[in-house]
Amino acid sequence: MFTGAMVALVTPFQDGDIDFQTLDELIDFQLENSIDAIVPVGTTGESPTLSHDEHKQVIERVVKAVGGQVPVIAGAGSNSTAEAIELTAFSKTVGADATLQVGPYYNKPTQEGFYQHFKAIAEEVDLPIVLYNIPGRCGAGMTPETIARLAEIENIVAVKEATGSLDQASEIAMRCDITIISGDDSLTLPLASVGGKGVISVVANIVPTDVKAMTDLILEGDLASARQWHKKLFALSKNLLTLATNPIPIKAAMAILDMCSAELRLPMTPLEESKTAVLEQTLKDYGLL
């Protein structure tokens, strides 16, 4: 359930509201292209600007649309432990297979605070948890020691590593056997060299087949062949995360490809015209235009 190509699904908007029809179409596209799992309402799904009701509506809609064909790992994290427990309990109620739990943001807990936060969620709701370690977004991150402590809890099964540090991933792998998943498309293959088992991917919103081709090879242990996909995907993956803050570039790319609107919610703003030109050229170079 927690290996391979997993898409960090965007949340499409139309005139300020969630575009559920397009959401269904995006899910169908992923399923038709054999994605391994779908991860709604994470960072890429703009969870910070969804209301609690909208957040729950997206989780429920995705679970229903997927219909058990692949696992749904619902974004259910918060910087409030009680709120994360509520979202996690809801996710279980509607049939999600697991939750993605981002590190508490803004309030910058201590390492003991991280531990107690995730421990409380795991003990309150019997559903597998994928930890999400992304200090660049949260202002603080978990150490390998803390992740290893959390891995001792039965339903904490994986960690999405988005620190950008292979040393961090190596130390996690040295300390415990938790499944390590890449949180950066450009690092999926490098992370595999120290034990990574796949990716929760932004670029898979537009090229799921290619991301899966690479992760299938990784899981088969054929890193040399996977390297060819890494080279092909690298420029596109990098631009989607560096031209502007995620998910601004991926939504711009999906609009160019007529997959969904580029619409975002403030404080996210559209991709600048000059950067849109760079993105269009990247899509052409990749063969998508």
**Active-site annotation, residues:** 132, 160
Distance CA 254, CA 12 (A): 10
Q: Which strand (E) or helix (H) includes residue 63? A: helix 52-66
Distance CA 215, CA 203 (A): 13
Q: How far is CA 48 from CA 42, 76, 168, 243, 252, in A?
A: 9, 11, 27, 20, 19
Residues listed for the chain: 289
Residue 51: partners with Cβ closer than 8 Å, 6 or more residues away: none
User: For tokens 């949180």, what's the residue?
Assistant: 183
Question: Measured at the alpha carbon of residue 119, what is the angle toward residues 200 and 164, in degrees to the nearest 5?
Answer: 35
Q: Do residues 46 and 54 touch, judged by C-beta distance below 8 A?
A: no
36 DSSP assignment: S
Q: Do residues 164 and 184 touch, judged by C-beta distance below 8 A?
A: yes
